[in-house]
Amino acid sequence: MLNPASPIPLYHQLADLLLAEIRNGTYPPGGRIPSEHQLAATYGIGRPTARQATDLLVRRGILVRRRGSGTFVQPPEQEVDLFSIAGTSASFMQTGVSVSTRLLTRAKRRQIGRDPHNPFAGREAFFFSRLSVTGDVPVLIEDFYLDPDTFPGLENLDLEGRSLARLAAEHYYLRPSGGRQTFRIAYLAGTRARHLQVAPKTPILAVRRYLNFPQADAALYSELFCRTDRFVFAQSLGALHHEP
């Protein structure tokens, strides 16, 4: 029960009690918690205090309010390993999420313009772009740049929905030997914003990824643009592993 003599505010005590009940399964993910009127009656407090407690848990992302329905326990966000050598699509599938991809542009050799981040700047590379969708919601755009000497004939291969790491292993007998990636917050406009269905002022996660292959460093460079309102994009620390 709540302790009015405690230096901890009553609303904070109530929030802690609710959190404990969420964690022990009394209120499971997706479940509805008692209304503020019920909480006030149960704990002998005013409704404003009950409101403060639920407000605190809403701000922390533990509860979510649904107008006309009540307040519910927020299900845990699904994580997608953003640095899976198996490929981002495989990472979605490993979480049990069905994902489909479609090409926005087909693979084609092109001259890459000036870009201090792109290892192919000032020379030719294969380029293609694809969109990943879960359900009816677009979640990820990937722009790929590949070394034409390391991946000859790429423009003739079917890249729809394929893991590039698997394609490299099966078609070119190459496996990534390492890589790195950088993260930043970005804002999209034009075609990319339309494909991801985000407003120009919506922050998205932008990632630059460099994959090395034996005797071909940064032979695959990609830029990823990720909506983070649907998934948490995670990165596992430790050695890199390829899917079997």
- Residue 139 has, within 13 A of its CA and on its CB side, a CA count of 24
Q: What is the CATH number of the domain that holds 57?
A: 1.10.10.10
Q: CA–CA separation, 205 vs 223, rounded Å?
A: 10
Shared domain check, 167 and 101: yes
Specify the 3-state DSSP secondary structure of 34: coil
Shared domain check, 95 and 54: no
Shared domain check, 208 and 103: yes
Among residues 24, 48, 73, the one where a domain terminates is 73
- Domain span at residue 21 reads 10-73
Whether residue 17 is contained in a domain is answered as: yes
pLDDT band at 43 (very low <50, low <70, confident <90, very high): very high
Q: What is the pLDDT of residues 19-32, one digit of tens each?
A: 889 988 899 989 99
This prediction has a pTM of: 0.61
Reading the block at residue 105, the tokens are 């542009």
Residue 128 is predicted with a pLDDT of: 94
Shared domain check, 61 and 88: no
Q: CA–CA separation, 4 vs 231, rounded Å?
A: 40
